[in-house]
């Protein structure tokens, strides 16, 4: 996607051919700072502190983290140590485990001297696959937006509501929920996006920044606004991303997603989830078995932003001493999801539809469960 008109990805191998570049997303949208990761600890820290974030990008960063570990020491012990360290960074997005499994399979049975090259190759493929998946999601989701546009009077805009950041900053490129929006905009569809702020970490500000960079009309709204807009007929479709879809089609995503789905259901607004296959966990049947990340109370008690002095700082909003709870994700039951926009098409959020669309993944999970 574009920054100041220049096409760029969210993660890349630097010109030295081995260190890894990312944007420090904790400083966006106020400052656009590139960071260089040179060891597995850098990669683990970047994921844990959310310098990189968003399920697919977490997977890509972990893949390159494993490359950096193997570059220092290509032994089995180093591989296992790095895998455990990276896996422990964040609990909810299944893309992290998926990417580490893919990487481990690509290097484990190779002699040590081949492991580094094999790891960098597979990590690059994971990134390219992510881009291809998101483009496919974009094309399938575009049809939904075109159908809405076809029912409108000429020039009337198609209003999309999105939550969190499932944009190119959360992936390697394009984003999942935003891919159909970017394609629609590029094709001249009058698309407009209501962007949920997404407290406490305000990932909506990242989405607004991205959309602005690409020239997509959008409006930044407080998290509690969506229900009001939907009641007034101001939202045509909700599209959100996901950190993990269960084998039954239940959707785990950023906290607050469930409330948007409830409001959408009550108002007849179609609620879609952009779901790339690495975010589908065929091993999990019960959505309440998904580990929900609980983050520090200070994220709730304070708000971070750009001060008048040009510095990024946190200010306290909660009274000193009030306990705070910070659940980072919630579960939207499949019954509230109109469809999953996958790289293989828009499918029902159900066990049968998921198994039909991804038979190889569903069977592999069944075989693993059978032992």
Q: Which helix (H) or strand (E) holds 62?
A: helix 55-72
Residue 269 token pair: 């607004």
- Strand partners of residue 221: 196
Of 93 and 106, which CB lies nearer to ligand MRU in the complex structure?
93
Per CB under 6 A, does 51 bind ligand MRU? no
Binders of ligand MRU among residues 220 to 249 (CB under 6 A) are 241-243
Binder among 40, 55, 96, 103 for ligand MRU (CB under 6 A): 55
CB 346 within 8 A of CB 340: yes
Binding residue for ligand MRU, selected from 74, 93, 116, 275, defined by CB under 6 A? 93
DSSP state of 294: B
Q: Is 9 in the site for ligand MRU (CB under 6 A)?
A: no
Instruction: Choose which of 9, 11, 53, 211 interacts with ligand MRU (CB under 6 A).
Output: 53
Query: Token match 């968003």: residue?
Result: 54
**Per CB under 6 A, does 277 bind ligand MRU?**
no
Instruction: Give the 3-state secondary structure of residue 320.
Output: coil
Q: What letter would DSSP give residue 179?
A: H
Rounded least distance, CB 34 to ligand MRU, Å: 19
Q: Is 311 exposed, middle or buried (0-12, 13-18, 19+ CB in 10 A)?
A: exposed
Q: CB-wise, 149 or 206, nearer to ligand MRU?
A: 206
Identified catalytic residue from 236, 243, 281, 330: 243
Rounded to whole angstroms, the Cα distance separating 27 from 306 reads 10
Rounded to an integer, what distance in angstroms lies between the CA atom of residue 362 and that of residue 347? 15
Looking at the Cβ atoms of 205 and 354, the one nearer to ligand MRU is 205
Identify which of residues 159 and 176 has a Cβ nearer to ligand MRU in the complex: 176
Q: What stretch of H or E contains 99?
A: helix 95-107
Q: Which residue is nearest to ligand MRU (CB)?
A: 241
Q: What letter would DSSP give residue 327? A: B
Among 56, 141, 180, 265, binds ligand MRU (CB under 6 A): 56
Contact between 89 and ligand MRU per CB under 6 A: no
DSSP annotation of 291 reads P
Q: Among residues 118 and 240, whose Cβ is nearest to ligand MRU?
A: 240
CB atoms within 10 A of CB 7: 8
Phi, psi of 286 (to 5 degrees): -100, 115
C-alpha of 198 from chain center: 13
330 is catalytic: no
Residues from 161 through 200 that contact ligand MRU (CB under 6 A) = 164, 166, 170-171, 176
Is residue 328 within the footprint of ligand MRU (CB under 6 A)? Answer: yes
Among 78, 89, 213, 253, binds ligand MRU (CB under 6 A): 253
Q: Which residues pair with 346 in a beta bridge?
A: 341
In the bound state with ligand MRU, the residue whose beta carbon lies nearer, of 23 and 120, is: 23
Residue 207 binding ligand MRU, by CB under 6 A: no
**Residue 288 neighbours by CB distance under 10 Å:** 10
Q: Which residues are catalytic?
A: 243
Residues that bind ligand MRU (CB under 6 A): 53-56, 93, 164, 166, 170-171, 176, 203, 241-243, 253-254, 328
């Amino acid at each position: 996607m574009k920054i100041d008109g220049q096409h760029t990805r969210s993660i890349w191998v630097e010109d030295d051919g081995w260190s890894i570049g990312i944007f420090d997303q904790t400083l966006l949208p106020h400052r656009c700072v590139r960071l260089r990761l040179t060891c597995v600890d850098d990669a683990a820290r970047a994921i844990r502190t959310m310098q990189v974030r968003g399920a697919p990008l977490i997977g890509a960063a972990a893949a390159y983290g494993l490359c950096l570990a193997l570059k220092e020491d290509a032994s089995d012990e180093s591989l296992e140590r790095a895998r455990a360290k990276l896996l422990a960074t964040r609990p909810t997005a299944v893309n992290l485990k998926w990417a580490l499994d893919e990487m481990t399979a690509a290097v484990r049975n190779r002699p040590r001297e081949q492991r580094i090259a094999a790891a960098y190759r597979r990590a690059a493929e994971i990134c390219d696959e992510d881009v291809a998946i998101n483009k496919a999601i974009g094309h399938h989701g575009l049809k939904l937006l075109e159908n809405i546009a076809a029912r409108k009077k000429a020039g009337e805009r198609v209003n999309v509501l999105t939550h969190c950041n499932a944009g190119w900053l959360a992936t390697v490129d394009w984003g999942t929920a935003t891919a159909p929006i970017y394609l629609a905009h590029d094709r001249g569809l009058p698309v407009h996006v209501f962007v949920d702020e997404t407290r406490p970490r305000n990932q909506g500000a990242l989405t607004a920044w991205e959309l602005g960079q690409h020239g997509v009309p959008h409006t930044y709204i407080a998290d509690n606004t969506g229900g009001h807009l939907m009641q007034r007929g101001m939202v045509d479709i909700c599209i959100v991303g996901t950190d993990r879809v269960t084998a039954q089609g239940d959707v785990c995503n950023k906290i607050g997603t469930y409330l948007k789905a409830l409001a959408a259901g009550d108002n007849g607004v179609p609620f879609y989830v952009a779901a790339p296959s690495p975010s589908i966990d065929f091993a999990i049947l019960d959505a309440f078995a998904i580990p929900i990340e609980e983050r520090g109370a200070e994220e709730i008690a304070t708000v971070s932003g750009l001060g008048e002095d040009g510095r990024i700082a946190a200010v306290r909003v909660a009274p000193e001493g009030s306990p705070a709870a910070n659940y980072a994700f919630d579960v939207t039951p499949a019954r509230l999801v109109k469809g999953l926009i996958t790289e293989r098409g828009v499918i029902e959020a159900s066990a049968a539809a998921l198994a039909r669309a991804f038979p190889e993944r569903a069977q592999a999970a069944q075989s693993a469960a059978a032992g």
